[in-house]
Amino acid sequence: MYERILVTGSTGFLGHHLMPRLKSAFPKAEIIGVGRRDADLLEPGAPARLLRNTQPDCVVHMAAKSGGIITNIKRPAEFFYENVVMNTHMLHDAQQAGVKKFVTFMGGCSYPSDARSPIDESQMWAGYPQIESAGYSVAKKMLLTQSWAYRVQHGFNSIVLIPGNVYGEWDNFNLEEAHVIPALIRKYMEAQERQAPTITAFGTGKPTRDFVYAGDVMATIPWFIQNYNSSEPVNISAGRRISIRELAETVKKVTGFAGEIVWDATKPDGQMDKIFDVTRLHSLGLSCDTSLEDGLRRTTDWFRQARERGEVRL
């Protein structure tokens, strides 16, 4: 169907999971992976130049500036500017270059802060996202309007997918930038090595989330490339509720940490309940089935080995 598939952000967290799946699903296509070192998409003219040099008929745009709640609070302007610039120019220039299919992603944090769980796609425009990550989430939310506008005016086939709270191998384990799962894994393992009696976890542990293994999310992308042709977004998640406190206990079990968890309630909890409705995903015949414990074990094993090799983002 497609001869040349360009993947931006191919060297990042999700890119590592996607590239082998694309190569397996499209064995006759040339899969072109591009990371920040290959092309700085913030540079004026860089997206158009990249498309001109690679001439893809399909683009999977994954390049983004992302991070956990702490770094979002400190750098909202960076998160807004960099994501708006990359997304706007990549989609526009792809349409101008004659790309047949454009696939991109936004975060579940773009849903309104008071969205009712389980959160279905119809709630996207029912309110403003949580303020702590609004720079990032509002920038990503603009993709929905851009996708719709270019489909209406130009007939451009772009789709926007919404992964849940994704975790897995190749994630960012820098404690200031990391999301909750990689941060907990690193804290537990380092505390275990120091034989520390406690670790500190942020917040109260009361919020509930819907975590989804990155490999499951990326396994659905070849299907969306081949079969989905609508600007209506789709949630890609497990649809399972777990509290942050329960998560912390599960990570503790997987890592083998024997100490206690101290909760720092001065740090923000974020939205108290965020579970994604995956009815639309299931109606397409797709699902994300890896259990949380299995996914955490894979992530922990990878982190342990990658850290020894010096291949993990700390």
Q: Which residues are catalytic?
A: 136
Which string of DSSP letters, residue by residue, matches 106-123? --GGGS-TTPPSSB-GGG
| Sign of CA pseudo-dihedral 77, 274, 181, 252 | positive
Separation between Cα atoms, residue 249 and residue 46, nearest integer Å = 45
Measuring CA to CA, which residue among 75, 64, 63, 3 is closest to residue 33?
63
Angle at 294 between CA 269 and CA 104, to 5 degrees: 65
Name the token pair of 307.
């850290």
> Residues, the chain, total?
314
For tokens 């991109």, name the residue: 104
